[in-house]
Structure 1
């Protein structure tokens, strides 16, 4: 199935870039995370490359180590999405928002507002926040455990979907001569009464041309996979090998089938951090230069968080001590998918320095090479059924985004794997997803 789907590609816009040294890279804006123009420029390059969407993560708390490293994200993603969709025509925008820290009606209305304003180009990345610092900013001092957070998330997504479907597409009649604007019977309150939420509805806007925003999810834990399989159109993964990617895809699609969903309609997109050069040697030199610009204490702290270990246990030239690994993942703070990816590398006995080179600090795979080599790698994963596409994560935003567009996409286009021009105008259309159902 995977090899038959056109390759799907997003550009992940992370502050100054996915590499921890990106903010110090020559020519890059050290405060790119606080510059709307930086996101807009990257989105325009991505649309020039005919990508499906740009992806916007979220970090609703001040990061540790701000003295030596800027925020990865600062703006509310909905604000960035509004700016990006205002100056682009076709490319989609996926915004991250937490079910742990938000309220369903407010989130549903904000995201649908940008979806309608953009003509149906928005997706929602559903996240279940496990960071106490973020929870404290929203008054959640009694932070629920993982099972409690996912129980809330299950109901939250159901409420948002019900709100997005509260206006039938045929509700607006707009009969100026007859004086009838809408059919009230096709605009329905949802009157939700559940364990976590009581929401009357309906929303205040009719649906966009794509029906409602695309649902994206990235949970790697059993609870996350269950939520994704039941509700998500697109699933991000942290797969670092073809074998891992195939297994993840098979598992999620089997779960989707249990919910009577067509497993072929679920798209799997692993993250891929790219470090490009005109030659392989140039790419490796670029990677070395970026590592030199990284703050060792900061990278170790982030890796320690990703592995859920004490930073004092990590030494750059030594493996992660086997005794530091957690046996109980019941209340793991970092993403379990990223945790498992980092754990697989750490258990190979690699020095911490090499773990950082191969998977950064967050668990996503790092590819260092030429544009042609990156394209070949992407094509191999796609053909093997390990990915329907990728969430591309350039090392440095300012020059890494145009490099991906100019040095990787031509090879994929020549291989017939990506489009030669937009033939749809909505994000759901770009992903070739089925139309949503309205009652």
Structure 2
């Protein structure tokens, strides 16, 4: 396939600090050391050897009860539970790697800006500039119930709070000027007080005096990752995100999303090339097309329809048990992840699925249709890249760590052979490896509405 677009593909890895996707833990080659540092450190070493940009961990703040208003199916099938706090997990990975970026999810709905700013600045210092923050607003009532609320706020309200949350964290990260630390042993000057200032933020959701108790970190701000797909989410991501994680059921929908979000970034005064869009893909690598399809079928057989429905109910925060499972999915008012719902609608219309069939498909879906030999998989990745459907890909494994090992052993060399992916890390920080500039102090102000 002839190259039509300059540049190289970016690769990131999607993880849960637990058993992962539905059926993933049942795979014969899956390991189950989810409560051991060695499990995550092994994954980190695999990804760094393959020259991935970063690994990031999803998270939520409660066991879902979206299906049948009960935790039963979620616990029985391991859907969204158990999950470790991802912050200490990424610290364990960072300790055994030198170049791989490490990202963790933290919700603006149930945290405070000062804590978030301090946590991710600390991680950025301790990793020499490899930290990333996956910003979420939370998306299910089960989380609200763990923090003294009966219901999750509406989407617009959640994003208004998130906007102010990011504004406050940016102010705190900028509250120390670059070069404020002097560390002059002869004169006794530790830092320049004139280069450290309170922020005195007074807003609708937060009152924060500042300054932060840490100097500005190597990246200025950690890399901001975001997965908003609703209109509010897209606008938020276009202002704040360095990386957008998304999910699409076709290349056509991916191209449309890519064009819209890049245009939104430009309207916010940003260089669209500094916003990297990484759709989720689930590669299944085979020695032949037939071998890959057999591996896919083997994985699908591990997933009961009820487990997939529990997962989908959790992601869109709608109880699907209330519907006739052998009829088509009716129109829904979705409180959860808009992007997943849009993907499901596209597939349901194309395949004429019932709710039950949707559950089976969703539980074992192989995003991006990357099933085949390494050459076939890279052909499809190159097409998405060249047609501006993606700047790279978020690799979501069928099972861990073997799926990452297979991708690293077979697909990465084919990407490198075609000049589509690095053979060595180019930069010292995650921002440098992504080609995303370090923000100047106060740069965030130009992004506000």
The two structures have a TM-score, normalised by structure 2, of 0.90
| Range 275-284 or range 381-390, more displaced | 275-284
Deviations 1:7-33 (A, max 9, x none): 111011235665411111124234x44
> Cα distance, 1:36 vs. partner?
2.8
SS for the counterpart of 1:34 is coil
Instruction: Provide the rounded CA distance (Å) in 2 between the counterparts of 1:346 and 1:80.
Output: 36
Question: Which stretches in structure 1 are left out of the alignment for 5+ residues?
Answer: none
Instruction: Provide the rounded CA distance (Å) in 1 between the counterparts of 2:29 and 2:351.
Output: 37
- Report matched runs for 1:234-253 at 5 Å: 234-253=243-262
1:392 partnered with 2:392: no
> Cα distance, 1:334 vs. partner?
2.0
Q: Who is 1:155 aligned against?
A: 164
- Report matched runs for 1:346-365 at 5 Å: 346-352=348-354, 355=358, 360=363, 364-365=367-368
> Cα distance, 1:37 vs. partner?
2.1
- Report matched runs for 1:129-278 at 5 Å: 129-278=138-287
- Report matched runs for 1:334-413 at 5 Å: 334-352=336-354, 355=358, 360=363, 364-413=367-416
- Does the 8 A contact of 2:248 with 2:368 survive in 1? yes
The alpha-carbon distance between structure 1 residues 72 and 429, as it changes in their structure 2 partners (threshold 3 A), is farther
Question: Which stretches in structure 2 are left out of the alignment for 5+ residues?
Answer: 65-70, 443-449
Instruction: Provide the rounded CA distance (Å) in 2 between the counterparts of 1:418 and 1:4.
Output: 12
Q: Who is 1:325 aligned against?
A: 331
Instruction: Provide the rounded CA distance (Å) in 2 between the counterparts of 1:161 and 1:80.
Output: 24
> Cα distance, 1:243 vs. partner?
1.6
Q: Who is 2:52 aligned against?
A: 51
> Cα distance, 1:242 vs. partner?
1.9
Q: Who is 1:41 aligned against?
A: 42
- Does the 8 A contact of 1:272 with 1:365 survive in 2? yes
The two structures have a TM-score, normalised by structure 1, of 0.92
The alpha-carbon distance between structure 1 residues 285 and 361, as it changes in their structure 2 partners (threshold 3 A), is closer
The alpha-carbon distance between structure 1 residues 344 and 163, as it changes in their structure 2 partners (threshold 3 A), is same
| Range 152-161 or range 253-262, more displaced | 253-262
The alpha-carbon distance between structure 1 residues 245 and 2, as it changes in their structure 2 partners (threshold 3 A), is farther
- Does the 8 A contact of 1:105 with 1:163 survive in 2? yes
- Does the 8 A contact of 2:11 with 2:395 survive in 1? yes
Instruction: Provide the rounded CA distance (Å) in 2 between the counterparts of 1:314 and 1:121.
Output: 47
Match for residue 95 of structure 1 among 88, 100, 104: 104
The alpha-carbon distance between structure 1 residues 369 and 178, as it changes in their structure 2 partners (threshold 3 A), is same
Q: Who is 1:22 aligned against?
A: 24
> Cα distance, 1:357 vs. partner?
6.6
Instruction: Provide the rounded CA distance (Å) in 1 between the counterparts of 2:357 and 2:283.
Output: 16
The alpha-carbon distance between structure 1 residues 164 and 361, as it changes in their structure 2 partners (threshold 3 A), is farther
Instruction: Provide the rounded CA distance (Å) in 1 between the counterparts of 2:37 and 2:335.
Output: 30
Instruction: Provide the rounded CA distance (Å) in 2 between the counterparts of 1:433 and 1:98.
Output: 23
- Does the 8 A contact of 1:94 with 1:125 survive in 2? yes
Deviations 1:386-426 (A, max 9, x none): 10001110101121010110111001000101111112111
- Does the 8 A contact of 2:311 with 2:363 survive in 1? no
- Report matched runs for 1:282-297 at 5 Å: 282-297=291-306
SS for the counterpart of 1:404 is helix
- Does the 8 A contact of 1:413 with 1:420 survive in 2? yes
Aligned length: 430
